[in-house]
């Protein structure tokens, strides 16, 4: 058996634009592979092509060209087998609001062909995993976002698939639920289950073993967090805490020709420069001249967000 859970080759999806003799390329010849048992992060802004890719990998949408295998099944020719062997949690969670917790679990259990003892066993498992014991009879509509999210995960993996696709599972839930949810994802992975998860929260990439970043349907980066941080950015990054108004400081710094990239992170700025010493001197000079001043400045290693923002900006500039 291959140690790859998913292999994607030249996968492309074009949509016909209604009323026009044109197509729109939502996914543009992407290639990547996912190892068994890893948490694989699929990052990109809204509209980048994440859901379209996932739907093709789950056998729900026919590719325009290219191919992929998921758990050894070909997404073009073995969609029925494929669907039985994976779990998929869609962006909208697809729970029935008017059903109770238990009814939703039974409904999905039915879809996956679970009955009697086995269904009962898996129901217990989901209720425990989602922390929903005692709420079996609650209408799903009355649950908080975090509970709904965990119930949706439970329903998606009732049949114990070895590969699970989660499409923006942390969208629209509070930060604590987000963090708890990532713990559940880690639990699955430690049981050997492969999890491919999409998100537009760049900070969530740190929880993944491997990541791809897509922009406008094109793959623009692929690697582990450490690889991404060391391979894609070679220029120094300075963290600058201005003594006064950060918004003004941002405006001043980012128009300087030596500031290759400037972004706001919390109460500081991250400024990419060609040379750390020269950069520091220039920043002190220009912020001093504007009466803003510098409270603290130091060279830092880039965060994943630095890498992503840099790559996204570069790709968008290249495409224009
Ligand atoms: N059925 C469709 N017909 C036409 N365009 C679509 C369709 N589905 C998605 N798109 C477009 O494809 C692009 C990618 O969408 P999507 O995969 O949903 O992005 P993401 O999940 O990354 O937010 C978007 O511009 C979207 O409007
Ligand atoms: Mg989406």
Ligand nearest 50 Cα, by number?
Answer: 1
> 13 CB less than 6 Å from ligand 1?
no
pTM here? 0.88
The structural domains of the chain, ordered by start, are 4-223 (3.40.50.300), 234-301 (3.30.70.100)
- Pairing type for strands 194-199 and 294-300 reads unpaired
pLDDT of residue 273: 95
The arithmetic mean of pLDDT across residues 32-53, rounded, is 96
Phi first, then psi, for residue 296 (nearest 5°) are -155, 140
Provide, rounded to the nearest whole percent, the portion of the chain with pLDDT above 70.
Answer: 100
What pLDDT score was predicted for residue 71? 97
The predicted pLDDT at position 174 comes to 86
- The residue written with tokens 């980066």 in the block is 221
Give me 241's structure tokens.
């805490």
Cβ-based neighbours of 1, under 8 Å, separated by 6 or more: 72
Residues with Cβ within 8 Å of 289's Cβ and at least 6 positions away in sequence, in order, are: none
Of 206, 214, 220, the C-alpha closest to 42 is 214
Torsion of CA 127, 173, 194, 100, to 10 degrees: 30
71 lines ligand 1 (CB under 6 A): no
Label residues 121-152 b or e (16+ Cβ within 10 Å = b). Answer: ebbeebbebbebeebeeeebeebeebbbbbbb
Report which protein residue has its CA nearest ligand 1's atom 11.
26
**Closest atom of ligand 1 relative to the 45 alpha carbon:** 22
C-alpha to C-alpha distance for 142 and 262, rounded to whole angstroms: 44
- Considering every ligand atom shown, identify the ligand nearest to the alpha carbon of residue 16 and give its number: 1
Instruction: Provide mean pLDDT across the span 304-308.
Output: 88
Q: Worst-scoring range by mean pLDDT, 48-57, 196-205, 251-260, 286-295?
A: 196-205
Question: Has residue 2 got a pLDDT over 80?
Answer: no
Query: Rounded mean pLDDT of 63-81?
Result: 97
Torsion angle, alpha carbons of 124, 130, 131, 134, to 10: -50
Q: Of all protein residues, whose CA lies closest to atom 16 belonging to ligand 1?
A: 49
Provide the 3-class DSSP secondary structure of residue 105: helix
C-alpha 199 – ligand 2 centre gap (Å): 8
pLDDT at 1: 59
On whether the CB atoms of residues 70 and 6 are closer than 8 A, the answer is yes
- Residue 3, burial from CB neighbour count under 10 angstroms (0-12, 13-18, 19+): exposed
pLDDT class of 223 with cuts at 50, 70, 90? very high
pLDDT band of 306, cuts 50, 70, 90: confident
- Residue 26 C-alpha to ligand 1 middle, in angstroms? 6
Judge whether residue 320 has pLDDT over 80: no
Mutate to test the pocket of ligand 1, among 13, 23, 26, 27 (most ligand atoms within 8 A of CB): 26
Q: Is the pLDDT of residue 92 over 70?
A: yes
What's the average model confidence in pLDDT over 180-190?
93
Q: Which of 19-28, 56-65, 76-85 has the lowest mean pLDDT?
A: 19-28
Ligand 1 in reach of 48 Cβ (< 6 A): yes
Rounded Cα–Cα distance for residues 68 and 54 (Å): 11
CA of 70 to the centre of ligand 1 (A): 22
CA of 191 to the centre of ligand 2 (A): 27
pLDDT in tens, 118-173: 999 999 999 999 999 999 999 999 998 889 999 999 999 999 999 999 999 988 88
Does 22 sit in the ligand 1 pocket, CB within 6 Å?
A: no
**Checking phi first, is residue 13 left (phi over 0); if not, alpha (psi -120 to 50) or beta?**
beta
């Amino acid at each position: 058996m291959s140690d790859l859970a998913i292999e994607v080759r030249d996968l492309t999806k074009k949509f016909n634009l209604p009323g026009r003799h044109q197509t729109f390329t939502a996914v543009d010849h992407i290639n990547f592979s996912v190892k068994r048992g890893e948490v694989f992060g699929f990052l990109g802004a809204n509209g980048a092509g994440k859901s379209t890719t996932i739907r093709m990998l789950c056998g729900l949408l026919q590719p325009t060209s290219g191919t992929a295998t998921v758990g050894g099944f070909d997404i073009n020719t073995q969609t029925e087998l494929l669907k039985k062997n994976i779990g998929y949690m869609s962006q909208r969670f697809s729970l029935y609001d008017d059903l109770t917790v238990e009814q939703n679990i039974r409904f999905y259990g039915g879809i996956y062909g679970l009955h009697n003892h086995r269904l009962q066993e898996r129901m217990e498992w989901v209720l425990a995993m989602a922390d929903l014991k005692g709420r079996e009879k609650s209408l799903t509509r009355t649950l908080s976002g975090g509970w709904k999210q965990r119930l949706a995960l439970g329903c998606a993996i009732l049949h114990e698939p070895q590969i699970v696709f989660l499409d923006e599972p942390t969208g629209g839930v509070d930060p604590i639920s987000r963090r708890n949810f990532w713990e559940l994802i880690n639990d699955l992975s430690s049981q050997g289950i492969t999890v491919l998860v999409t998100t537009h929260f760049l900070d969530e990439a740190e929880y993944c073993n491997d990541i791809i970043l897509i922009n406008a349907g094109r793959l623009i980066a692929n690697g582990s967090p450490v690889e991404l941080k060391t391979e894609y950015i070679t220029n120094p990054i300075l963290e600058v805490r201005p003594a006064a108004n950060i918004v003004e400081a941002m405006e001043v710094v980012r128009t300087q020709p030596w500031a290759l990239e400037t972004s706001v992170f919390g109460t500081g700025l991250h400024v990419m420069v060609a040379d750390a010493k020269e950069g520091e001197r220039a920043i002190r000079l220009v912020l001093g001249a504007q009466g803003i001043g510098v409270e603290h400045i130091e060279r830092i290693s880039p965060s994943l967000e630095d890498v992503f923002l840099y790559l996204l900006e570069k790709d968008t500039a290249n495409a224009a």
